[in-house]
Amino acid sequence: EGGYVELTKWAEENGAEGVANIKISGEKKGEGRRTFARRDIAKGQDILSIPAELTISVDPDQPDLTYSGAPWNVRLACRLLREMKNSDASEWAPYIKILPKVVEAPTTTFEWDDIASIEDEGAKERIYNQNLMASQAFDRVPSEAHSASSREEFEWALSIANSRTFRIDSGIRMLVPIVDMANHRGSEATVSALDPYPGPERCNMDWRVDEKGRFVLFAKENIPKDTELTLTYGPKNNDDFFAFYGFVPKANSLDSVSIFPALMDMLQWHRATSASPALPPITYVKALTTSQQYLQETGAGGLRLYAHGGIDQAMYKALEVVEESAAKSSGGTIRQRIRGVIRRRASELLQEYSTTILEDLSKIIVDDIQRSKENLQESPESPNLKALIQLKVAMRTYKGDKRWWDPRVEEDAKPPLGAGSDLKPLLVGVEDGLGGLRASQRLILEYQISKKLVLWHFLLTP
């Protein structure tokens, strides 16, 4: 706690305003540092203002000591290390002292076995690539750029840059003392009709940079005294939160799943799996050309399915061309046919996982119980248990086409739906004597549950 006192005193002495509005908690196991309102705060009121001079930043338009073309996070990591090596002589010493010693995230703390156990190839590749980039960047950066820091120190600074940075409109990336202690909440409530994790997701703070260049936190709503202060870390899907921050939001309306590597892969898959009469190759050529033209005109990209049920327009444009031709012989509206195609693909992706979403949730629930020293006869009112029950209800009442289904959940969805005195009938694929999960195992499960939820949402909604 002494470090927080020194930090707030330093901030106030150097022009920060509103520090007295915020109370910083100590670090609890599994929770980290948190910020709370020290008094009632009215909607629209400025909570905290940090002058630009107190931020640690890098300007993409300005040269630095690293190397030509160095990415922003490498440049910011080196800047942070130079200040750290100055020790108490650094202007930012009180801030650097309270930075976490380790960022518990896959890119920093996962062993190779942990990474190999991730079933989402895109996530696995992202972690590999980040670790490769960090190693190559350290080898390229001149020693004076990071004040002769070790490889381990460089990787630490890089993890700080990746997980605590704000980006302003000018493209400048910055570390903002005190502000970066606030926990993440979404900027909007979840829009999923399935909504297995109901509850508050919206953050109660937002930020702006004022005309003086100060970083200002303000209240988005009335905030009672002792309420946790939260803000959004930006419009990110769970891939970013998982890899760089080491947590997975339970309800993220911006989450998405990559359902094809490239447009050509999608069209080849469609031609090989479609139940409609074979279409001439020129139809697929036209679909590819139409989609590529759209990408060139808009700059949009991706072949993703989103938590709110939408799909990338480039993918929609290509499928629209194909399904217009198929509808002439098979009937149905274009929208219905496109949704049918995406449902078929979503079902395939679900079946590629080694476990079902109900099995994953059951493991998380058992881990919750063991962590709280309860047992399977004491039914805790946990969000994960409620999610399991709600998913089972949705699966049992599903009225859709079973061709787009994961057949492995048929039996799983049948046990009693009420949370009675015995949880065992509710759980799926959980053996007696199952031990608790390691932190990395639990994080991987939470990430994969979030991706399966996006796919199931598309299957379970009209």
Query: How many CA atoms within 13 Å lie on the side-chain side of 370?
Result: 14
- 98, exposed or middle or buried, with CB in 10 Å at 0-12, 13-18, 19+? middle
Q: Is residue 323 a contact partner of residue 274, using CB atoms and an 8 Å limit?
A: no
Q: What pLDDT was estimated at residue 191? A: 47
Within 8 A by CB and 6+ apart from 261, the residues are: 303
Question: Which among 221, 250, 279 is the end of a domain?
Answer: 250
Taking Cα atoms as reference points, which of 322, 349, 137 lies closest to residue 256?
Answer: 349
User: Which of the four pLDDT bands, split at 50, 70 and 90, describes residue 190?
Assistant: low
What whole-number distance in Å separates Cα of residue 358 and Cα of residue 449? 9
Q: Which two tokens stand for residue 39?
A: 């008094």
What whole-number distance in Å separates Cα of residue 198 and Cα of residue 368? 18
Q: What pLDDT was estimated at residue 331? A: 67
Q: What pLDDT was estimated at residue 9? A: 95
What whole-number distance in Å separates Cα of residue 89 and Cα of residue 80? 14
**Which residues span the domain enclosing 18?**
2-250
One domain, residues 246 and 263: no
Q: What is the mean pLDDT of residues 181-186?
A: 89
One domain, residues 128 and 264: no
The total of structural domains in the chain comes to 3
One domain, residues 342 and 391: no
| Amino acid in position 24 | I
One domain, residues 316 and 408: no
* CA dihedral angle for residue 128, residue 130, residue 131, residue 136, rounded to 10 degrees: 120
Report whether pLDDT(193) > 50: no
Report whether pLDDT(421) > 70: no
Question: Which among 250, 269, 293 is the end of a domain?
Answer: 250
Question: Which among 234, 250, 266 is the end of a domain?
Answer: 250
One domain, residues 186 and 71: yes
Assign residue 212 the CATH number of its domain.
Answer: 3.90.1410.10
User: Which of the four pLDDT bands, split at 50, 70 and 90, describes residue 381?
Assistant: low
Q: What is the mean pLDDT of residues 297-313?
A: 82
Q: What is the mean pLDDT of residues 89-104?
A: 94
Q: Is residue 22 a contact partner of residue 7, using CB atoms and an 8 Å limit?
A: no
One domain, residues 294 and 363: no
- Strands 56-58 and 230-231, sheet pairing: unpaired
**415: number of Cβ within 10 Å:** 13
Report whether pLDDT(96) > 50: yes
For the chain, how far is it from start to end, CA to CA, in angstroms? Answer: 52
Instruction: Read off the pLDDT of residues 30-73 as tens digits, 9 standing for 90 and up.
Output: 456 889 999 999 999 999 999 999 999 988 888 889 999 999 99
Q: What pLDDT was estimated at residue 196? A: 59
One domain, residues 334 and 191: no
Instruction: Read off the pLDDT of residues 25-34 as tens digits, 9 standing for 90 and up.
Output: 865 544 568 8
How does DSSP assign 105-169, residue by residue?
Answer: SHHHH--HHHHHT---HHHHHHHHHHHHHHHHHHHHS-GGGGTT--HHHHHHHHHHHHHHEEE-T
Lowest mean pLDDT among 207-211, 282-286, 332-336: 332-336
One domain, residues 316 and 391: no
One domain, residues 234 and 283: no
Map residue 304 onto helix, strand or coil: strand
Report whether pLDDT(314) > 90: no
Q: What is the mean pLDDT of residues 158-177?
A: 93
What whole-number distance in Å separates Cα of residue 362 and Cα of residue 392? 12
One domain, residues 363 and 318: no
Instruction: Read off the pLDDT of residues 125-166 as tens digits, 9 standing for 90 and up.
Output: 999 999 999 999 999 999 999 999 999 999 999 999 999 999
Residue 277 DSSP symbol:
P
One domain, residues 324 and 394: no
Mean pLDDT of the chain: 87
Instruction: Read off the pLDDT of residues 109-120 as tens digits, 9 standing for 90 and up.
Output: 999 999 999 999
Q: What pLDDT was estimated at residue 433? A: 56
Taking Cα atoms as reference points, which of 282, 278, 301, 280 lies closest to residue 291?
Answer: 301
pLDDT greater at residue 303 or residue 20: 20
Q: Which two tokens stand for residue 172?
A: 């400048």
Q: What pLDDT was estimated at residue 416? A: 56
Lowest mean pLDDT among 2-16, 219-233, 238-252, 328-342: 328-342
Q: What is the pTM of this model?
A: 0.90
What whole-number distance in Å separates Cα of residue 328 and Cα of residue 324? 7
Q: Is residue 270 a contact partner of residue 325, using CB atoms and an 8 Å limit?
A: no
Q: What pLDDT was estimated at residue 33? A: 81
Instruction: Read off the pLDDT of residues 350-371 as tens digits, 9 standing for 90 and up.
Output: 999 999 999 999 999 888 888 7
Q: Is residue 283 a contact partner of residue 432, using CB atoms and an 8 Å limit?
A: no
Taking Cα atoms as reference points, which of 27, 11, 150, 14 lies closest to residue 77?
Answer: 150
Report whether pLDDT(300) > 70: no
Q: What pLDDT was estimated at residue 418? A: 54
The residues that bridge with 8 in the sheet, in sequence order, are: none
What whole-number distance in Å separates Cα of residue 65 and Cα of residue 79? 9
Q: Which two tokens stand for residue 409?
A: 């959940």
One domain, residues 294 and 391: no
Report whether pLDDT(417) > 70: no
